[in-house]
Chains A and B, each alone.
Chain A
Amino acid sequence: MPKTIEMIVSLKVPDTTAITALQTLQKLGFEKIKEVIRADYYKFSIDGDEEKFKNKISKVDILVNANKHSFDFSIKKDDTTKILVKNINEDGSVLLSTLKNRLGFDNTKKVEKAVLWSLSIESDETEARKIAEKAAKELLVNEHYQEYVIF
């Protein structure tokens, strides 16, 4: 039975995309959104030893550059409202091929890639969810080729 491993890779240096997203959202009237953090999200299906995989994948330069990235193997539980955005019909085959054929990750069966947005919103949970939904539709997602979940 393949195991599932999530990896979240974020920038240690200032993230200009997240800053632009915040500024644009505020210009669009989302005053209650106070901070935006962006991270790359990967989900791997693997056979074999989980710890060995985690140790090796975090050292692969194409996903994590230790000079500018930090990484984690679970989504941090905090007060932010999160939007996970994934391109529809993107099967991760290019990344999978690189991992298997060039970097020796023979036990990797599947890779999914997405973008994880964490929004700090000044409101209660119900309203924050509504605001995040609106922000997704107005800026962070184009539903003609992307899908998203909010949590």
Chain B
Amino acid sequence: MPSKKPNIAVVYFPGNNCEEESLKAVLASGMDGKIVRWNQRKEISKYDGFVIPGGWGYEDRIRAGVIMAKDPVFDIIKKEAENGKPVLGICNGAQALVECGMIPGLKNKAEMALAPNKNPFVSGYYCTWVYVKAEQDKDRCVFTKFIEKDVVIPIPIAHGEGRYITRDKELLGRLIKNKQIIFRYSTKDGRIEENFPTNPNGAMYNIAAICNKKGNVMAIMPHPERASFIRQLPDTIDLKNKSVGYILEFEKPAPARLIFDSMKKYVDEEIL
């Protein structure tokens, strides 16, 4: 057992707005952490892992995540990821990881896009609760060490550009073959239905999260940090319903917390 706790940098870019919840989820999983600004580059390498939170980095100017992706801090994060440190990009953070080529990370350039949602009812930004199903065995990715294959997790989405898409006709096949697709949008009972509302943004293959080949970098469009405590779940979820009237139950972990717990386990075992 390592003598110290993993120390995680929640890397904040101007315009992000999920850094506080992300840090809370990190701390709740038993890690230490700090919100580190994008321009505090000198100290960033000392951290054991990174969370790139959601929001509107640089107001999504030009397109979501692209200005963040060109920031010099990503050169350092890339290097640290190559050394094995975990990197979790959530929503806007996921968009930046895709734009900078860390995800899927096969060619060191943007191999896909998180394009504007395709939704039959709502144009642009869409915010709702969905379900995602774990697609791989739990040891495939750093962030699913506690999540068995086929487990379904309730989790919210909140984005206007979350549709994984690529023009590379062979890429999807490679991602499937490499087992890089970690979560897919599903029904509550785990059925993959490609249409709305199960697939809330029209993502190819119902993709909600992809990891790099090594498994230590993951881009996830839904927000695990907003589904890490039972109190955060909507009343329609059984787990929340069962806790009504028991205030202490509300502070207990919800299933998406396992993503952060998994990060801790990996850092404990492989980085510290």
Q: Which A residues are closer than 8 A to B by beta carbons? A: 16-17, 20-21, 24, 27-28, 87, 90, 94, 139-140, 142-146
Contact = CB atoms under 8 A, between A and B. Distances in A.
Interface string B162-182: 010111100000000000000
The interface centre, meaning the residue of B59, B62, B111 with most chain A CB atoms within 10 A of its CB, is B62
26 contacts: A16-B61, A17-B62, A20-B58, A20-B61, A20-B62, A20-B67, A21-B62, A24-B62, A27-B70, A28-B70, A87-B115, A87-B116, A139-B62, A139-B66, A139-B70, A142-B110, A143-B167, A144-B111, A144-B113, A144-B115, A144-B166, A144-B168, A145-B113, A145-B116, A145-B163, A146-B113
A140 B167 contact: no
A27 B70 CA distance: 9
Contacts of B66: 139, 142
B236 interface: no
Contacts of B135: none
A142 B112 CA distance: 8
- The 8 residue pairs across chains A and B that have the minimum distance between CB atoms: A145-B115, A144-B113, A17-B61, A142-B113, A145-B113, A94-B123, A20-B61, A144-B167
Given A16-B59, A87-B115, 10 more contacts: A20-B58, A20-B62, A27-B70, A87-B116, A90-B116, A139-B70, A140-B62, A142-B113, A143-B167, A145-B163
B63 interface: yes
Contacts of A17: 59, 61-62
Contacts of B62: 17, 20-21, 24, 139-140
Contacts of B116: 87, 90, 145
B99 interface: yes
Interface string B132-147: 0000000000000000
Given A94-B123, A142-B63, A144-B166, A24 B70 contact: yes
A139 B115 CA distance: 15
Question: Do most interface residues of chain B lie in helix, strand or loop, or is the interface mixed?
Answer: loop
Nearest to A93: B123
Contacts, number: 46
Category for how many chain B residues contact A: 20 to 34
A28 B62 CA distance: 15
A47 B254 CA distance: 57
Contacts of B112: 144
Nearest to A140: B62
Contacts of B123: 94
A142 B59 CA distance: 17
A102 to B, nearest CB: 13
Contacts of B168: 144
Contacts of B115: 87, 142, 144-145
Interface string B65-80: 0110010000000000
Contacts of B59: 16-17
Contact of A144 (B61, B67, B165): B165
A28 B66 CA distance: 13
Contacts of B61: 16-17, 20-21
Contacts of A140: 62
Max chain A C-beta neighbours (<10 A), residue from B58, B59, B63, B167: B63
Nearest to A90: B116
Interface string B193-208: 0000000000000000
A66 B112 CA distance: 38
A145 B161 CA distance: 11
A95 B230 CA distance: 40
A19 B58 CA distance: 12
Nearest to A15: B61
Nearest to B65: A142
A143 B66 CA distance: 13
B64 to A, nearest CB: 10
